[in-house]
Amino acid sequence: MTNYYKFQAHFYDTTRWAFLYGRKRLIGDLNIQPGECVVEIGCGTGANFRAIQNRLQNAGQLIGVDCSQPMLRKAAQRAARNGWTNVKVVDAVYGKAAIAEGRADVVLFSYSLSMIDNWKDALSCAHSELRPGGRAGVVDFCRTSNSAGWFTEWLSMNHVQADRPCPQELHRLFQKQTYLRYDAWAGLWSFYLFVGARRTA
């Protein structure tokens, strides 16, 4: 991922807005509160940080995890530029060990779960990050009968696997609060949004 994003990190934010839908809706539906601990997996350049910080009010903690050093540098620069003192970035391939170790209030994946090879391990790890009642959120690509084949192939070339049964695993691990699926650009591609909570018992 470091090599893949070595050059893309410079223009990622100016190009991805055209098809990465639902990110603001995800953060809103997660109902983040001031002082909470939020872990974003695959934070990239920190494009979601401002929306998250608007809810944290520069309190609590925001931990951004990514395995691409060029993207993390952008995220760290964004935090420093805005004076966000509660932000920590972690360089890691997610899924091997918990970062917050059961004290996170929120864990989210914003178009990152489909890029993680061991995605089931990543979801299991996210489950262990959360305190009982903590929320998990995912927005990502999915493949439907309406999805354009060439776009799915293009995603695959860019390390995105849109045909994984991620929603089924999310429903198994977490108590559903929101599950939506959308078609974008007249069905050129599809994406889903899931918010669920770690069961308390």
Structure tokens at 54: 């608007």
Domain count, the chain: 1
Output the CA–CA distances (angstroms, integers) from residue 155 to 31, 42, 132, 166, in the order listed: 30, 16, 35, 16
Task: State yes or no: pLDDT of 79 exceeds 80.
Answer: yes
Q: Give me the chain's average pLDDT, please.
A: 86
Q: Are 195 and 30 in contact (CB under 8 A)?
A: yes
Q: Which residue has the higher pLDDT, 12 or 69?
A: 69
d(CA 15, CA 17): 6
> 3-state DSSP call for residue 135?
strand
Could you tell me the CATH number of the domain that includes residue 120? Answer: 3.40.50.150
Q: Return the minimum-mean-pLDDT range out of 43-57, 71-85, 86-100, 140-154.
A: 140-154
Q: Pairing between strand 61-66 and 130-142?
A: unpaired
Q: What pLDDT score was predicted for residue 123? A: 97
Return the half-sphere exposure (C-beta side, CA atoms, 13 A cut-off) of residue 179. 13
d(CA 89, CA 73): 9
Q: Which DSSP state fits 62?
A: E
Beta-carbon contacts of residue 134 (< 8 Å; ≥ 6 apart): 104, 105, 106, 107, 197, 198
Structure tokens at 120: 């089931």
pLDDT band for position 15 (cuts 50, 70, 90):
very low
- The residue-averaged pLDDT of 83-97 equals 95
Phi and psi of 135, rounded to 5°? -110, 140
The whole-model pTM stands at 0.87
DSSP codes, 97-112: S-SSTT-EEEEEEES-
Element holding 196 (H helix, E strand): strand 189-197
pLDDT band for position 39 (cuts 50, 70, 90):
very high
Q: Are 125 and 94 in contact (CB under 8 A)?
A: yes
- The residue-averaged pLDDT of 167-180 equals 97
Q: What pLDDT score was predicted for residue 186? A: 62
What's the chain's length in residues?
Answer: 201
Name residue 125's amino acid. C
Phi and psi of 136, rounded to 5°? -115, 140
pLDDT band for position 8 (cuts 50, 70, 90):
very low
Q: What pLDDT score was predicted for residue 10? A: 40
- The residue-averaged pLDDT of 70-89 equals 95
Range of the domain at 140: 5-197
- The residue-averaged pLDDT of 66-79 equals 94
